[in-house]
Amino acid sequence: MSGETDLKTLLESLHPVVRDGDYVYALWPHGRPLSGGIEAAVREAEGLTVVLPRDEADSLGLSYDFVAAWITLQVHSALEAVGLTAAVSAALTHAGISCNVLAGFHHDHLLVSSADAARAMDVLRLLARGVVLRTERPEDRPEILELTARAFSVSPVTGEPVAGTPLEVELLRSLFDCPEYLPQFSIVAEMGGEIVGHAISTRGWIGDLELLGLGPIGVLPHFQKRGVGSALMRETAARATAAGEPGIALLGSPLYYPRFGYVPATSVGVQPPEPVWGDRFQLLTLPGWPDDVRGTFRYAAPFNEL
């Protein structure tokens, strides 16, 4: 049975699916007959490596380090297809996600760290649509401002069309030039040379504690509901975690942001800059979050001029 070989067609039909549970790589004990739910095996001069569900490895007493999510690319790729693995691993590498690739007769399979699974799925879904995430470059700014004007042409608060230029455009222009601007936290989603989404986070504070304030985030109206916003949210959190930021605060819909782990800021002892914001002021705590934080969040200076 032959499979698809054209790279563009392959990428458009990647259809990544995550299997249930965690998987691990383990060395199979020499001389022991193979048993259990082994999903893949590689024989080498040094011994036999097996890939199997983590709970099977635990019950067999096998040791392991790497705990992985198993993602299958459902596209039926021909074994001789050129470039699919390179394109997939380049996109994941770009996002700072390492992966091990296993090729079966029908499909390619990726084992990525369980902690990176959701973000790897974002990257793969976006790759299928030709979308990549990258850090903003200064020459992108006019296009980002235009995108922001279009994204906020309907107020997210009232649902009504906005007369004139949305205030998020002026806010963003000021954020690009303020001392609280952090280049690696201005992230664009690009498709075929067009910027279709953007998220920015800038320096904010609770007392002396430095953390991030996220916003504005916008996606071009005709690209919304295709996962671009979610990918920008998760990319921001991953970069913040890697940079040792303790948390991210934002003002937004309590129906959207909890899916990324945000909680009402007051539930972790943080008050919004404006008390009336209530539960719309939300916070994502990251591994460096100190337990004893109490206080009111302060955004970068341009937010005070709104």
Ligand X SMILES: CC(C)(COP(=O)(O)OP(=O)(O)OC[C@H]1O[C@@H](n2cnc3c(N)ncnc32)[C@H](O)[C@@H]1OP(=O)(O)O)[C@@H](O)C(=O)NCCC(=O)NCCS
Residues within the interface to ligand X (CB under 6 A): 151-152, 156, 217-219, 224-230, 252-253, 255-256
- Work out how close the CB of 260 gets to ligand X at its nearest, in angstroms, rounded to a whole number: 10
**Concatenated DSSP letters for 157-188?**
TT-SBPSSS-HHHHHHHHHHHSTTEEEEEEEE
Smaller CB separation from ligand X, 106 or 226: 226
- Work out how close the CB of 305 gets to ligand X at its nearest, in angstroms, rounded to a whole number: 18
- Work out how close the CB of 127 gets to ligand X at its nearest, in angstroms, rounded to a whole number: 15
Measure the CA–CA gap between 276 and 272, rounded to whole angstroms. 8
Q: In terms of C-beta density within 10 A (0-12 exposed, 13-18 middle, 19 or more buried), how is residue 77 classed?
A: buried
Smaller CB separation from ligand X, 229 or 246: 229
- Work out how close the CB of 275 gets to ligand X at its nearest, in angstroms, rounded to a whole number: 19
- Work out how close the CB of 187 gets to ligand X at its nearest, in angstroms, rounded to a whole number: 12
Smaller CB separation from ligand X, 53 or 227: 227
Smaller CB separation from ligand X, 252 or 272: 252
Measure the CA–CA gap between 297 and 18, rounded to whole angstroms. 38
CA distances from residue 250 to 108, 126, 210 in whole angstroms, order as listed = 38, 24, 14
Extract the tokens encoding 246.
Answer: 């303790």
- Work out how close the CB of 194 gets to ligand X at its nearest, in angstroms, rounded to a whole number: 15
Q: Which of 300, 303, 259, 241 is nearest to 277 (CA)?
A: 303
Smaller CB separation from ligand X, 213 or 227: 227
Measure the CA–CA gap between 279 and 264, rounded to whole angstroms. 5
Nearby residues of 241 by Cβ (< 8 Å), 6 or more positions away = 286, 287
Position with the least CB separation from ligand X: 229
270-271 and 295-298 strand pairing: parallel
- Work out how close the CB of 299 gets to ligand X at its nearest, in angstroms, rounded to a whole number: 14
Question: Strands, DSSP E only, in 45-136?
Answer: 47-53, 67-73, 99-103, 108-113, 131-135
**Concatenated DSSP letters for 252-289?**
--TTTGGGGT-EEGGGGTEE-SSGGGGGGEEEEE-TT-
Smaller CB separation from ligand X, 14 or 81: 14
Smaller CB separation from ligand X, 51 or 231: 231
- Work out how close the CB of 76 gets to ligand X at its nearest, in angstroms, rounded to a whole number: 27
Smaller CB separation from ligand X, 111 or 151: 151
